[in-house]
Amino acid sequence: MTKRYWWIIITYIVCQLSGLILGTPLLNFIPIEQRSGAWVVFSFLVTLIITLLLLLPERKMHKNIKRANTTETITWAIAGIFLIYITQVVASVIDVSLLGEPPKSENTEQIMDLVRITPFAAFVVAIVGPILEEIIFRKIIFGWISKKTNVWIGAIISALLFALLHMDKHIIIYGGIGCTLAFLYVKTKRIIVPIIAHCSLNTFALIMTFTPAIQDLLEKQQQTVHFLRGLL
């Protein structure tokens, strides 16, 4: 793994741990109920900028790698949106049936609570976060492990790390999503494709949470999960 990639990973880890300063006087100028959300937005934006700057040299590299053309990229980006949603539903059925876990995710609920308090944090949830996670887990970790071993091992390990990052009991769901995103990256060799799929999934979660008219759709999805669980 190149030093550039290590610096990106270190920057991301620092970003994740930077919330520890919330208890210090440094952020006293921000209303206490909005400090967490404001810091998430600031730290993630800074991390994204640093990450993109570190990746700039790669614009002139890997020109010999066969990648999906524009049409294929658009096709897979659209297909990926449906594929990742299907993966989430199927993984939810397995998760509820085998492990008996409740359909709701504690991690997702915590994030949505943060957005309710600090609405502009939605930009990080829908866009910035997925971009960083795809660069870290698919481009860097999956890419490196798959080169050292094979695609299957790379996909499984990167997906498990992706699941553990979210500190949620729904390992099967996050792991399944991680494997699907790795599949999209392998098929196209373009990180933008899993980024689009990941962003769409998070955006859809935000819409379902904050649009009352779509709450019924969410409830029906949960009913479907319970119905399929009964069949299994």
Q: Which residues are catalytic?
A: 133, 166
CB-CB contact of 130 with 84 (8 Å): no
Give the other-Cβ count within 10 Å of 71's Cβ.
Answer: 8
Distance CA 8, CA 134 (A): 12
Q: Is 100 left (phi over 0), alpha (psi -120 to 50) or beta?
A: left
In what helix (H) or strand (E) does residue 123 lie, and over which residues does it extend? helix 122-123
Could you tell me the two tokens for 49? 């900028």
Distance CA 37, CA 97 (A): 35
Distance CA 100, CA 215 (A): 23
Quick check: helix, strand or coil at residue 206?
Answer: helix
Give the other-Cβ count within 10 Å of 141's Cβ.
Answer: 21
State phi, psi for 99 to the nearest 5 degrees: -105, -15
